[in-house]
Amino acid sequence: MAASMWTKLFDRMVGSFLHRGTLIIQLVDGTVLRYGDGQPPEVRVAFHDEDLPRRLLFSPEIVMGEGYMDGTITVENDDLHGLLQVLLGNFPEGAGTWPGLLRMFRKIATPILQFNPTGKARRNVAHHYDLSGEMYELFLDTDKQYSCAYFRTPEVTLEEAQAAKKAHIAGKLLLEPGMKVLDIGCGWGGMALTLARDYGVQVLGVTLSTEQHKVATERAAAAGLSDRVEFRLTDYRNVRETFDRIVSVGMFEHVGAPHYREYFRHMKKLLNPDGVALIHTIGRFSPPGSTSPWITKYIFPGGYCPALSETMAAVEREGLVETDVEIWRLHYAETLRHWQMRFEANIDKVRALYDDRFCRMWRFYLVASEMSFRYGGQCVFQIQLARRQEAVPLTRDYLYVPEARAALRAAE
């Protein structure tokens, strides 16, 4: 098919779904394509490869991301936020058009792509979390919390918002000194160390990342908490003890939908009869879907952000009680905005660790993730679970009213 025919087909397909905002594309031969209603944001993009219209038709998300990474697609003023706002803001409306059709085909393959046995899970985790620890320090908060923060107001700092996130989760766990806590997917250890230090509990943290395990263990020793916190380089499916509390922050996205019942089956097995668990995970407002193929290829192989419906179906079938569900909407957008600003402020240091292409890849990842929470239907679910419904107070007062928490302790 002649190049002009591919261009015409590309033009027709983009025009079929892009109706809000303004997108202007300049092709290699100088042709200018315009889409949208002429309203802001107005974004100008240049293609530097004449084959891009054809390739974008068959794999738009991968080719768009790779084009930005490789420099074959450039955005005027590097306005990635504007570009992704226009694209994501129009995709829901185009559910019955070209993007929707591509997503439908991806959804069919989802069970295969998310099959995540222990060995594959370890390789998937290493792809992302065993990158340079120095690189993560350049954009995360001082406690290295690589998950959604809790912004009580937009003005708080990232450090304050991450501390608020940990305190909110600790409140939902109803911790008492001496309790045994399992932290599934413990990251660099910040949550486990906070719970041990501030709440007097014993914590076992498990991770599949060699780099995270090393750093977490060193942090426990440096804080004088090695007697209260243990970190293991193992899959949660290998844990055999039982616990009063289980917490899992930012790990459920890596479980894979085919393994949800297995995950909650193990959770019930590991939780004491009066135990409480708190799952904090990225999710979606929409029905079950699929992961961006660009994210799967370059950032989180095997990752998937679940719908609440498919998560709760697995919970119900494994006999756990849903005692509380909270939806965080724009908190992760704000978190990612802070990360991206810090990443850009340290871009020369990141480039020294890796290269320009890596910097563009991570810029695209951070901005695309932020815009997915603002315009793409992503959110965060906090799901509190128990084996008995009486394990948790009848109201949420214990979270927000100090007197209620004190009265609860006095009654025990």
Q: How confident is the model at residue 108 (pLDDT cuts 50, 70, 90)?
A: very low
Query: Which of 73, 107, 141 is a domain's end point?
Result: 107
Average pLDDT over residues 80-86: 96
Average pLDDT score, the chain = 90
> What pLDDT score does 302 carry?
82
Regarding whether 375 and 336 lie in a shared domain, the answer is: yes
Least confident of 219-228, 280-289, 311-320, 399-408: 399-408
Contact 276, 245 (CB under 8 A): yes
Question: Residue 113: inside a domain, yes or no?
Answer: no
CA-to-CA separations, 132 to 72, 126, 232, 350, 353, in angstroms, rounded? 27, 11, 20, 10, 8
Contact 348, 167 (CB under 8 A): no
Regarding whether 144 and 258 lie in a shared domain, the answer is: yes
CATH code of the domain containing 216: 3.40.50.150
Q: How confident is the model at residue 90 (pLDDT cuts 50, 70, 90)?
A: confident
Q: What is the pLDDT of residues 121-143, one digit of tens each?
A: 556 555 555 567 788 999 999 99
Percent of the chain residues topping a pLDDT of 90: 76
Q: Which domain holds residue 174?
A: 118-411
For 401, phi and psi rounded to 5 degrees? -115, 110
Q: Distance between CA 409 and CA 48 in Å, rounded? A: 66
Q: How confident is the model at residue 89 (pLDDT cuts 50, 70, 90)?
A: confident
Name which of 205, 194, 258 is nearest 231 in CA terms: 205
Regarding whether 259 and 129 lie in a shared domain, the answer is: yes
Q: What is the pLDDT of residues 318-341, one digit of tens each?
A: 999 999 999 999 999 999 999 999
Q: How confident is the model at residue 94 (pLDDT cuts 50, 70, 90)?
A: very low
Regarding whether 160 and 244 lie in a shared domain, the answer is: yes
pLDDT top residue among 91 and 236: 236
Average pLDDT over residues 162-181: 96
pLDDT at 398 over 60: yes
Average pLDDT over residues 273-287: 96
Count Cβ atoms below 10 Å from residue 155 Cβ, excluding itself: 7
> In sequence order, what are the beta bridge partners of 73?
47
Regarding whether 173 and 33 lie in a shared domain, the answer is: no
Regarding whether 133 and 84 lie in a shared domain, the answer is: no
Q: How many domains does the chain have?
A: 2
> What pLDDT score does 100 carry?
56
pLDDT top residue among 198 and 405: 198
CATH code of the domain containing 8: 3.30.1050
Average pLDDT over residues 307-327: 96
Average pLDDT over residues 155-182: 96
Regarding whether 68 and 128 lie in a shared domain, the answer is: no
Query: Which of 53, 74, 107 is a domain's end point?
Result: 107
Question: Residue 112: inside a domain, yes or no?
Answer: no
DSSP 8-state code for residue 12: H
Using DSSP's 3-state secondary structure scheme, residue 327 falls into strand
- Amino acid of residue 12: R
Count Cβ atoms below 10 Å from residue 204 Cβ, excluding itself: 20
Percent of the chain residues topping a pLDDT of 70: 87
Question: Residue 364: inside a domain, yes or no?
Answer: yes
Q: What is the pLDDT of residues 66-78, one digit of tens each?
A: 999 999 999 999 9
Give rounded-to-5 percent helix, strand, coil for the chain: 55, 20, 30
pTM: 0.90
Regarding whether 321 and 261 lie in a shared domain, the answer is: yes
Regarding whether 347 and 223 lie in a shared domain, the answer is: yes
Contact 220, 189 (CB under 8 A): yes
Q: Distance between CA 335 and CA 339 in Å, rounded? A: 6
Q: Distance between CA 404 and CA 394 in Å, rounded? A: 11
Spatial strand order of the sheet with 378-386 comes to 229-233, 202-207, 180-184, 243-249, 271-284, 378-386, 321-328
Q: What is the pLDDT of residues 35-51, one digit of tens each?
A: 999 999 999 999 999 99
pLDDT at 151 over 70: yes
Q: Distance between CA 372 and CA 14 in Å, rounded? A: 19
For residue 118, what are the contacts with CB-CB under 8 A and spacing of at least 6? 235, 237, 238
> What pLDDT score does 400 carry?
84
Query: Which of 44, 73, 107 is a domain's end point?
Result: 107
